[in-house]
């Protein structure tokens, strides 16, 4: 991190300083390295001594943890000359971030948000990784309601804003798809004059002082287990990643960086991970999150990858859909039936709606009950999709199928 003087912490809270400056920021004492600032978020005050033992140069017990992190991140951002790309969208933002990072890294000193570091803690922590020689910083911005993206963008000051898509996500907070578009549009509103907005073909942009790049349907070629998009060979085959790759390529062009011939993307955990199962079976572990659009895409990918294998879908609730939730669950169940799912295990109260469309299957109340069904449900040679909103915790089911530890 670009070094900051401890004086930037004045009036933010209780400061214990063992040095005049710090060169990193952490909120987890286990990740503290010598020279870091440790910010005690939530119950973090109990770990101040641990942070000091691990070499923290400064500890801060803040009056307002989010405001303190934002203040420190602004200080780092203002001292950096890096180009900042901020990515938001109803789905695909983490994968688009991962793809852009893989595209950018060969030609520019690049940092990108870890996993889904995309909120009022994660965005400042990513900005606090900026070094003097960082050329590109790729951020992911999440939203739970109106105003959150605007707040994160004010801290990050991006020159390039990317909206991957608009879909039925967080509807209980913003009420409608128009509300989702308005919330995502806060990123475009925050761009400086002369900035670049990369958006879907139908996304409304009223500004005339930014360059607008619209990304539509893309053609892709599959060659020997890889997918070629825009002349670049990628290490994925899933169709829903094609649009993410095209969006990332548009951002790469906006950065003025060359396209590599081939890249291998290190996607974040539990987002379409594929692993072999006994008897020639296949697990598609997409347990990190879910919404109606991504559910249909994942079911289509299950059908594509299954071939002649039996198709099993273990699907949990899709959260934050508000009053539209039951209908969206029925629609996903209809898609599962249309795509030839042989058996569906529905997990959670809303997930009952999947079975109302006539797809063969059974219902359980929670992930613990689902774990009791796995041995009976999945046969050797099956192709299995595991997907739900993050709160359901279906990564435990995926781990049981492969006996992989679920700890992060």
Closest to 395 measured CA to CA, from 342, 316, 279 = 316
If asked whether residues 197 and 258 sit together in one domain, one would say yes
Q: Which of 249, 289, 295, 306 is nearest to 393 (CA)?
A: 289
Q: What are phi and psi of 274, to 5 degrees?
A: -115, 135
Residues 56 and 199 in one domain: no
User: Within the chain, which residues score under 70 in pLDDT?
Assistant: 404-408
348 touches 316 (CB < 8 A): yes
Whether residues 181 and 278 fall in one domain: no
For residues 304 and 364, membership in a common domain is answered with: yes
User: For position 144, what pLDDT does the model report?
Assistant: 80
Residue 357 CB-density burial (10 A; 0-12 exposed, 13-18 middle, 19+ buried): middle
Same domain for 305 and 210, yes or no, is: no
Q: Which two tokens stand for residue 312?
A: 């099993």
Cα–Cα distance measured from residue 347 to residue 29, given in angstroms and rounded to the nearest whole number: 35
Q: Are residues 283 and 258 in the same domain?
A: no
Max Cα distance, the chain (Å):
66
Same domain, 195 and 247: yes
Spatial CB neighbours of 41, under 8 Å, sequence gap ≥ 6:
27, 62, 65, 69, 121
**pTM score:** 0.85
Q: What's the angle, vertex CA 268, arms to CA 135 and CA 383, rounded to 5?
A: 150
Q: Which of 236, 263, 290 is the last residue in one of the domains? A: 263
Residue 360, number of CB atoms within 10 A of its CB: 11
Cβ neighbours around 249 below 10 Å, total: 21
Q: How far apart are CA 14 and CA 151, in angstroms?
A: 25
**Is residue 70 situated within a structural domain?**
no
Range of the domain at 9: 4-65
Quick check: 331 and 291 in contact, CB under 8 A?
Answer: no
Query: Closest Cα to residue 233, out of 284, 225, 40?
Result: 225
Rounded distance, CA 44 to CA 14, Å? 13
The DSSP bridge partners found for residue 398 are: none
Instruction: Supply the Cα-derived Rg of the chain in whole angstroms.
Output: 22
Residues 325 and 258 in one domain: no
At 408 the pLDDT is: 41
C-alpha 209/C-alpha 160 separation (Å) is 13
- Domain containing 368 — which CATH number? 3.90.190.20
Helix 240-254 to helix 93-104 angle (10° resolution) is 50
CB 37 within 8 A of CB 71: no
Nearest-angstrom CA–CA distance, 40 and 190: 29
- 253 and 131 share one domain: yes
Same-domain check for residues 109 and 169: yes
Residue with tokens 């094609």: 242
Structurally, how many domains does the chain consist of? 3
Same domain, 201 and 106: yes
| Helical segments of 224-291, H only | 240-254
Contact partners, residue 49, CB within 8 Å, separation at least 6? none
Q: How far from the centroid of its chain's Cα atoms is residue 214's Cα?
A: 21
Q: With contact defined as beta carbons under 8 Å apart, do 18 and 51 qualify?
A: no
Q: Are residues 85 and 56 in the same domain?
A: no
Q: What is the CATH number of the domain that holds 33?
A: 3.40.1390.10
Which of 65, 95, 111 represents a domain boundary (last residue)?
65
């Amino acid at each position: 991190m670009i070094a900051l003087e401890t004086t930037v912490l004045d009036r933010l809270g209780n400061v214990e300083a063992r040095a005049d400056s710090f060169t990193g920021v952490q909120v987890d004492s286990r990740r503290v390295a010598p020279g870091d600032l440790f910010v005690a978020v939530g119950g973090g005050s109990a770990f101040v001594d641990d942070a000091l033992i691990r070499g923290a140069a400064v500890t801060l017990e803040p009056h307002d943890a989010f405001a303190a992190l934002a203040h420190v991140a602004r200080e780092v951002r203002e001292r950096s000359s890096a180009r900042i790309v901020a990515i938001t969208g109803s789905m695909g933002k983490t994968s688009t971030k991962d793809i852009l990072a893989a595209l950018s890294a060969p030609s520019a000193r690049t940092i990108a948000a870890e996993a889904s570091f995309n909120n009022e803690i994660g965005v400042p922590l990513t900005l606090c990784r900026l070094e003097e020689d960082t050329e590109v910083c790729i951020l992911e911005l999440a939203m739970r309601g109106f105003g959150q993206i605007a707040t994160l963008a004010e801290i990050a000051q991006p020159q390039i804003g990317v909206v991957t898509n608009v879909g039925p996500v967080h509807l209980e907070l913003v009420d409608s798809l128009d509300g989702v578009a308005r919330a995502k549009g806060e990123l475009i509103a925050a761009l400086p004059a002369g900035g670049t907005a990369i958006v879907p073909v139908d996304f409304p942009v009223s500004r005339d002082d930014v360059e607008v790049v619209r990304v539509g349907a893309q053609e892709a070629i599959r060659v020997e287990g890889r997918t070629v998009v825009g002349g670049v060979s990628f290490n994925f085959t899933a169709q829903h990643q094609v649009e993410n790759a095209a969006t990332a390529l548009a951002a790469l062009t906006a950065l003025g960086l060359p396209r590599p011939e081939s890249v291998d993307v290190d996607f974040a955990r539990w987002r379409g991970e594929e692993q072999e199962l006994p008897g020639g079976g296949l697990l598609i572990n997409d347990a990190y999150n879910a919404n109606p659009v991504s559910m249909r895409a994942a079911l289509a990918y299950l059908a594509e990858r299954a071939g002649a294998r039996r198709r099993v879908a273990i699907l949990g609730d899709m959260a934050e859909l508000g009053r539209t939730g039951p209908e969206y669950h029925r629609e996903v169940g209809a898609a599962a039936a249309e795509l030839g799912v042989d058996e569906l295990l529905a997990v959670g109260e809303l997930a009952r709606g999947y079975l109302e469309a006539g797809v063969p299957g059974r219902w359980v109340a929670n992930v613990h009950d689902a774990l009791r069904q796995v041995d009976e449900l999945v046969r050797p040679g099956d192709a299995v999709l595991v997907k739900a909103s993050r709160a359901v915790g279906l990564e435990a089911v995926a781990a049981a199928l492969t006996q992989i530890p679920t700890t992060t």
